[in-house]
Each structure stands twice: as structure tokens, then as C-alpha cells.
Amino acid sequence: MKLTNTNKNAEGSVCWKSPSNIALVKYWGKHGIQLPINPSISITLRESVTTTGIDFQHTDAGKGPEIDFFFENKPAPDFGKRIQKFLESQVEQYPVIQNLQMVIRSSNTFPHSSGIASSASAFSALALDIVTIARNYSGAKPERDFYNEVSELARLGSGSASRSVYGGYAVWGGMKEYPEYSDNYAVPVSTSIHKNFQEIQDAILIVNAGTKKVGSSAGHNLMNNHPFAQARVQQANKHMLELHKILSTGDTERFIEIVENEALSLHGLMLSSNPGYFLFEENTIRIIERIRAFRQSSKIPVCFTLDAGPNVHLLYPGSNKVEVVEWIGNELLTFCHNQKWIDDGMGKGPVQLK
Ligand code: DP6
């Protein structure tokens, strides 16, 4: 859908708060314009969120978009350039932004240097703002669902951001068994969710608060010509199919096997890339071992997943929160950077503030 800039008095403010997400089946490898080599599924988080507001006004310059970007109330020209480039690439689709002067202010609930992937929350919040502006000021009648359109725009900024647009579980990437899924945008998961998986908690254990060793685009590129690429795509598709069944039947044991296998496979792919990277650290392994031992001794279905970094996402049912939080304090915080962890869990998705 092309939107035209018909409103010369475009002026106003828009602000959305949008969460990060953690993938259960990982997106790893892309082709073309931000298209995934395999489908992925994630849980949208509740606490790790980005709030991005845009104050905008019409300018006749048409040289478009003019951006001043502030991160946590300070000018952030480097981030600003990335956003400028991204918005410039969207001018054909959203001509209205070509004539806008924008002051963009963004902040995260999690510290920038906490090692939490912020591109998912950042680009989903930005895409929510941009599509809101385009719809309010273009004068064109929207042809598609708002969140569907936002998800596609967010994907073009950062693949995983496409999934942050929805609460609960979201899927990005086509599957022949589910024609509603697409490589172009994410949608909410199609299956019904068993009560075992409705209130998943995510304790994010910060092993290293530094920035990522390998940027995500460079990481995805490692999958080009990777010797295991074909097997990986098959594995991810198989996991997606099985996870759909498990999410509706409530098979916790198999859920844990798949989720942990996905995390270790992701890191296995990085280890066997050329060049090879190990992004986990000693304390990542220590925590994983403790999680497995605690699962056996307590019979509480805790499990781990990892992003492309050393921090551990400890997933567990909300009904076990008291015991799990006590155990985190007693056994796991010693392996965390400055004893730091984030008490997160499944959330309801983005919220419009302005
Ligand atoms: C390991 O979405 O950060 O977290 O599309 O290049 O911005 P870009 O990559 P990004 O990759 C996320 C990879 C992952 C797995 C996942 O979230 O599915």
C-alpha cells in the first residue's frame, strides 16, 4: 500500500512503548531484504521495553526525513544515523515522512549496556510510531491490519522486531502447514496455548553487561555458505511444527528439550562458522549446569535459552515463582555480573502512550 502525503499541516506527537522478545526457535540466517531462512517463534516480554516518542512537523523541504535523535535524553547521533538511513529507505512506501522534521526520543527500561537485545523493542516502537503518523496524516484509507503493517516495517529495521508487535507468542516466517505465516511479517501464534505455557516467566541472568561481540547482521551472515545451513533450516522447521503441538497439549518435558536444543544449536552454529565465535562465557555454562541440576532435584520445569550472547534467559512457570526466585538468589546470582538479573516474563505487547 502506498500512502501519499496529502496533509500539509502534518504536525503532532506520537509515542509507543514496545517490548523486547525472546525466541524459542531462533531466527538465524537471512537473505534478500531481511527475509529469514527459517521460521521462528518468540515470547514477547513484559518488563524489557523501549519507549519511543516522535514530535513531528511538516517541512516544505521534501528532502526528507530530518531527524534529531535523543537516547535517554542525550543526543545520540550514531543511533540517529541508523534510524535516518532506515527511514530514508522507507520514503517510497511512506512518502509522508519525506516532508517531516522529527525529534525522536527513545529510552529503555533496561540499561543500554545490560547485554539485552534492544533492536527488537527499538525498531518495533519506531515502526509503531511511523505507521501511526502515516495513517493519521496521509489521508489514505488503510488497506491492511495495523499490526500486520507495523510488523513488516519493524522487520525491515530488525528481523526479530517483527515479533515484538504482538503480546504472547508470535511467529515470523512462512510454513507450508500454516498459510497464515509469512516471511514478510510476524503474526500471533495460530495454535491455542495450554495453561502450562500461558504465564511463562523469564529471569534474565546478566553474565556480561557489555555490548555484543558480534553484531546481529554479521552473525546472520555467518549462515551464508555455512556447512550445516541446510540441516539447520530442516531442524528449525521440525522444531516449529513440534512446538505448535506441544504449546497446545502442554508437554513440558518436550518443550524444555526443544527450547534448550535451539539455544545450544544457535551457539553450535556460531562455533562452527568461519570464523568461529564463542559468545557464551564460563558463567553461562555454570548457570546452565545449575539449571539442569535444579530441574532434576526440584522437579520444577525450569529451562534456559540464550540469545547471541552470554546472558541466560531462565524460563519457568509463574506458579513456581517463589521457589525459583529464592533459588536464583541462593545459587545463580554469584555467576551474574554485579549479581544482576531482570525479573521478566511474558507480556501483552505494545501500548500507545500518545
Ligand atoms: C539470536 O533480529 O537482532 O536473537 O535482523 O540483523 O536485526 P537483524 O537481527 P536480529 O537477530 C536476532 C537473532 C537471535 C534469534 C531471534 O531473536 O530469533
Ligand 1 in reach of 44 Cβ (< 6 A)? no
Residue-wise pLDDT tens digits, 182-233: 999 999 999 999 999 999 999 999 999 887 778 888 899 999 999 999 999 9
Grid cell locating 2 = 502506498
- Residue among 18, 26, 29, 23 nearest 52 (CA): 18
The residue contributing the CA closest to ligand 1 atom 4 is: 307
Mean pLDDT value of segment 1-20: 72
The residue contributing the CA closest to ligand 1 atom 9 is: 216
pLDDT for position 12 = 92
pLDDT for position 60 = 75
Using a pLDDT cut of 90, give the percent of the chain over it. 84
pLDDT for position 112 = 65
Mean pLDDT value of segment 12-23: 97
This prediction's pTM: 0.95
> For helices 119-137 and 146-157, what crossing angle results, to 10°?
130
- Residue among 231, 191, 205, 169 nearest 23 (CA): 169
What is residue 234's three-state secondary structure? helix
The residue contributing the CA closest to ligand 1 atom 3 is: 216
Contact 99, 63 (CB under 8 A): no
Residue 143 has pLDDT above 90, yes or no: no
Residue 2's pLDDT band (cuts 50, 70, 90): very low
Residue-wise pLDDT tens digits, 22-58: 999 999 999 999 999 999 999 999 999 999 999 999 8
Nearest ligand 1 atom to the CA of 22 is: 17
Residue 92 has pLDDT above 60, yes or no: yes
pLDDT for position 64 = 74
Ligand 1 centre to CA of 174 (Å) is 17
Mean pLDDT value of segment 124-153: 91
Ligand 1 in reach of 216 Cβ (< 6 A)? yes
Contacts of 117 (CB under 8 A, 6+ apart): 20, 160, 216, 307, 308, 309
Mean pLDDT value of segment 123-138: 93
- Residue among 124, 158, 169, 347 nearest 259 (CA): 169
Ligand 1 centre to CA of 158 (Å) is 7
pLDDT for position 209 = 85
